[in-house]
Amino acid sequence: MRFPIVSCGFSEKIGTRLGRCDDVWNAAAAGLQDDPQKMRKRYRSAVIAIGSLLALLGLTALAGWLLQLEVIIAVVPDFPSMAFNTALCFVLSGSALATSVTGRRLVSVPSTGLSAIVVVIALARLIEITIFGRAIHHIDRLLTDVLISPDFAAQIGGGMGPNTAVIFLMGNLSLIAAQNWRVARAPLVQELMSYVVITLGMIALTSYITNAEQGYRWGPYATMALPTAIGMVLFGGGLLASAWWRQPESRGRIPLWVPALVCFTGLTADLYTPLGVANGILYVPLVLTALWFRNRKASLLFALVCTILILLGFFAVSHDNVGFWQEVTNRAITLVMLWLIALLVFYYVRNRLNLETERIRFSALVRSTPDAVLTIDEKGTILSFNPAAEQMFGYTPQEVIGRNVKMLMPEPYHSEHDGYLRHYAETGEQRVIGTTRKVSGQRKNGVAFPLDVSVSEVKSGGTKAFVGIVRDISERVTQEERLKTTLAQLEDYTADLERSNHDLDEFAYIASHDLKEPLRGLHNHSRFLLEDYEGLLDDDGVRRLNRLVRLSQRMEKLVNDLLYFSRIGRQQLAVKRTDINLVIKDVIATMELLLEERHAKVVIDGQLPEVVCDALRLTEVFRNLITNAIKYNDKPHPLVSIGYLERFVARDGTTARNVFFVKDNGKGIPKEFHEDIFRIFKRLEKSQDSDDGTGAGLTFVRKIIARHNGEIWLESEVGAGTTFYFTLGRKREEQNAAA
């Protein structure tokens, strides 16, 4: 005995040029949006037409029963006739099928009801056959005995066959599920059942053609009539069109008659070929037709249909004892081969659909990106041109695709581009690929503009392509030019500032030498006059000379303070980590005499931290604040409190962190003078020894704190005292630093 060697192979070459894939997949994406609506209309028309034909077939058979015309019921003499219940089920199933695609809930309810009646009739017939066998036909005779002459009914005989009942049961159950089962798998179940219905109908139809009674008669039971077999094939096609109407994306890409013809040919050859040799060869194309279906499980469905056909073909013919096991082995090998091919097709289709999905997503990304994306081949020919590139360069894709990319470049890039491609092809040296470079582009109107270009190499098989991402940087270049202009202006301002500082230094030198010299002369000559001529002068003359001495001394102090103020803003700070507790102790020690004279006291409220600062400058800050708190105090025992707050909340709700404070119990400062006190040489009143001050102390304090990137402010209540707050290196939130 020899076994047939069945070989098959399939390949599909997907070799689209890289640059064209953008247009191809854009068209595919558009097709996915437009086709379903058109296809739904076509499927709906097909379902309604098939449903109407089935109802007409059933009505014709019912008319033959009622008119007692056997030729209408049997169609072909000596062939089995269509049972009365079968004709009734065709009317009900066809009506249910035609009304199932209206999409209206009010219509789907009657459609479900019609299918439910068919399910009850078919299920009752199957139960009757299972329990009572072939001799009992109570379900078929239930209506015929009432409407039809008993003699004519006995002449026709038979009844609904088990294969007919199974088809009606499965088909209408799938129709009910598709209309009422609100899940995505409902159309898939209906599609699967439609393949089974078509297969069983084709088996019966083929059996009539080949005169193989086993195909349309299951065992000793009633047979399926020829018009019934034709109607079942139509019923299966209607179910399939209904499933695709519900889910257009799962439709096949080839006409349904192609796999149907394969089924018919395969079963015919199977029934008439010894050992089923042709079976394996002829069923392979049926599985391969799944390559044209969008449903990735189509190959598995076709493999299931082929399995049913192979098994039916095996049991439809008689077998002798000699070749039985040989044929069993042959069909087992065929089934294994078909399922292997089905799995290969399944994974291939799944990967193809996944790739198609990713390409559509990539196409959508390329079309929506704000950057221009171009694809060129090894010769520099433009293969793709996205919408951003259209807007950037002013060309349409039709104007640039197929032309050299150098059309988008001004000189010298226009002339050098082809030479660079040749150099890269010969040496493989990369100058632009994998990097981002600033170049110039040229719009359709001839205007050149700056670009950032990033080029990547893409290899597909033996070909290379280059994908360029282009960004218009005209605005960035403009901003850079403005920045350069601003920097140049800043350099000029810096030079002016340096000249101003130089002039200020010269002024300080003049003030410290030339201005002080006449002041000292006035002071000294006034003293000499008092010493030599005080006895010759009257009291008014002596008073005026003493006044002149004091004014010259005060003028010298003002000049010294002015020079010191100018140096504060220009000299570098000698910053280091400093213990503020030691700073306060040093200040108190130097002011010991003043504290005793005024019966004043300075206390430290809590522990003061270490900070990074200029210790000498910060010592001056605390000395000025403490001195003012004592001098301008009307209490018999002035009290000054110094402390530190990690978090401070002002009366207006603003907050600050790491805040020092100097608090006194003096007169207080009215709110309208809170800024005036920081102006140089500005004093609200004279202290008891005001001749020793110039009114510049708080100005120095603010300037020193500003040099430490800090801020100073105060809170005061007239008659209760004043508290000065300041930070070092940090500003209050929601508040600008005082300069």
The pLDDT of residue 476: 86
The pLDDT of residue 495: 85
Confidence band, pLDDT 50/70/90 cuts, at residue 643: very high
Confidence band, pLDDT 50/70/90 cuts, at residue 363: confident
The pLDDT of residue 463: 75
DSSP assigned state of 738: P
What single letter denotes the amino acid at residue 610? Answer: E
**Looking at the predicted structure, is the pLDDT value of residue 84 above 80?**
yes
| 649 strand-pairing partners | 655
- Take residue 122 and report the two structure tokens written for it: 């078919």
Confidence band, pLDDT 50/70/90 cuts, at residue 18: very low
**Looking at the predicted structure, is the pLDDT value of residue 725 above 60?**
yes
Residues 659-669: pLDDT tens digits?
Answer: 999 999 988 88
Using CA atoms, how far apart are residues 314 and 335, in angstroms rounded to an integer?
Answer: 12
For the chain, how big is the Rg over CA atoms in Å?
52
**Looking at the predicted structure, is the pLDDT value of residue 692 above 60?**
no
Range of weakest confidence among 119-123, 256-260, 719-723: 256-260
Confidence band, pLDDT 50/70/90 cuts, at residue 683: low
The pLDDT of residue 425: 65
State the pTM of this model. 0.42
Strands 639-649 and 601-605, bridge-based pairing: parallel
Contact 23, 384 (CB under 8 A): yes
Residue 466 burial (C-beta neighbours within 10 Å; 0-12, 13-18, 19+): buried
**Looking at the predicted structure, is the pLDDT value of residue 372 above 80?**
yes
3-state secondary structure of 724: strand
**Looking at the predicted structure, is the pLDDT value of residue 69 above 50?**
yes
Edge to edge, the sheet with strand 721-727 lists 601-605, 639-649, 655-664, 721-727, 711-717
Share of the chain above pLDDT 70, in %: 71
Contact 254, 291 (CB under 8 A): no
The pLDDT of residue 21: 39
3-state secondary structure 683-704: CCCCCCCHHHCCCCHHHHHHHH
The pLDDT of residue 135: 59
The pLDDT of residue 723: 93
Using CA atoms, how far apart are residues 523 and 517, in angstroms rounded to an integer?
Answer: 10
Range of weakest confidence among 228-232, 258-262, 366-370: 258-262
Confidence band, pLDDT 50/70/90 cuts, at residue 49: very high
Residue 126 burial (C-beta neighbours within 10 Å; 0-12, 13-18, 19+): middle
3-state secondary structure of 609: coil
Confidence band, pLDDT 50/70/90 cuts, at residue 15: very low
The pLDDT of residue 81: 79
Smallest CA-to-CA distance from 115 within 34, 177, 40, 161 is with 177
Confidence band, pLDDT 50/70/90 cuts, at residue 355: confident
Residues 92-107: pLDDT tens digits?
Answer: 999 999 988 876 666 6
Contact 43, 36 (CB under 8 A): no
3-state secondary structure of 715: strand
The pLDDT of residue 278: 41
Residues 451-500: pLDDT tens digits?
Answer: 888 888 777 666 778 888 888 888 888 888 899 988 989 988 888 887 87
Using CA atoms, how far apart are residues 512 and 501, in angstroms rounded to an integer?
Answer: 16
218: left (phi over 0), alpha (psi -120 to 50) or beta: beta
Using CA atoms, how far apart are residues 207 and 437, in angstroms rounded to an integer?
Answer: 74
Q: Average of pLDDT values for 154-165?
A: 76
DSSP assigned state of 407: G
Residues in the chain: 739
Strands 448-460 and 436-442, bridge-based pairing: antiparallel
Confidence band, pLDDT 50/70/90 cuts, at residue 316: low
Higher pLDDT, 585 or 435: 585
Give 305's contacts (C-beta < 8 A, 6+ positions apart): 195, 196, 199, 263, 286
Share of the chain above pLDDT 90, in %: 10
The pLDDT of residue 340: 82
- Take residue 195 and report the two structure tokens written for it: 């393949």
Provide the terminal-to-terminal Cα distance of the chain, rounded to the nearest Å. Answer: 110
Range of weakest confidence among 38-52, 85-99, 448-462: 448-462
Using CA atoms, how far apart are residues 171 and 194, in angstroms rounded to an integer?
Answer: 7
**Looking at the predicted structure, is the pLDDT value of residue 706 above 60?**
yes
- Take residue 327 and report the two structure tokens written for it: 């044929």
- Take residue 14 and report the two structure tokens written for it: 């997907």
Q: Average of pLDDT values for 653-659?
A: 86
Q: Average of pLDDT values for 22-51?
A: 63
DSSP assigned state of 292: G
Q: Average of pLDDT values for 114-135?
A: 83
The pLDDT of residue 659: 92
Using CA atoms, how far apart are residues 60 and 54, in angstroms rounded to an integer?
Answer: 10
Using CA atoms, how far apart are residues 677 and 564, in angstroms rounded to an integer?
Answer: 18
Q: How far is CA 572 from the centre of its chain?
A: 53
Using CA atoms, how far apart are residues 539 and 287, in angstroms rounded to an integer?
Answer: 134
Higher pLDDT, 272 or 362: 362
Using CA atoms, how far apart are residues 168 and 123, in angstroms rounded to an integer?
Answer: 9
Higher pLDDT, 739 or 230: 230
Q: Compute the mean pLDDT over every residue in the chain, rounded to the nearest whole number.
A: 76
Higher pLDDT, 613 or 679: 613
Most confident among 174-188, 251-265, 461-475, 592-606 (mean pLDDT):
592-606
The pLDDT of residue 733: 42
**Looking at the predicted structure, is the pLDDT value of residue 220 above 70?**
no
The pLDDT of residue 75: 67
| 451 strand-pairing partners | 439, 472
Range of weakest confidence among 214-223, 334-343, 703-712: 214-223
The pLDDT of residue 174: 87
Using CA atoms, how far apart are residues 587 and 582, in angstroms rounded to an integer?
Answer: 9
**Residue 397, preceding bond cis, omega within 30 degrees?**
no
**Looking at the predicted structure, is the pLDDT value of residue 374 above 60?**
yes
The pLDDT of residue 726: 94
Q: Average of pLDDT values for 515-525?
A: 75
Contact 166, 126 (CB under 8 A): yes
The pLDDT of residue 257: 57
Residues 548-589: pLDDT tens digits?
Answer: 877 777 677 667 766 666 666 666 777 889 999 999 998 898
Q: Average of pLDDT values for 129-147?
A: 69
Give 109's contacts (C-beta < 8 A, 6+ positions apart): none
Higher pLDDT, 189 or 230: 230
The pLDDT of residue 227: 87
Strand residue runs (E) in 322-447: 372-377, 382-385, 436-442
Confidence band, pLDDT 50/70/90 cuts, at residue 688: very low
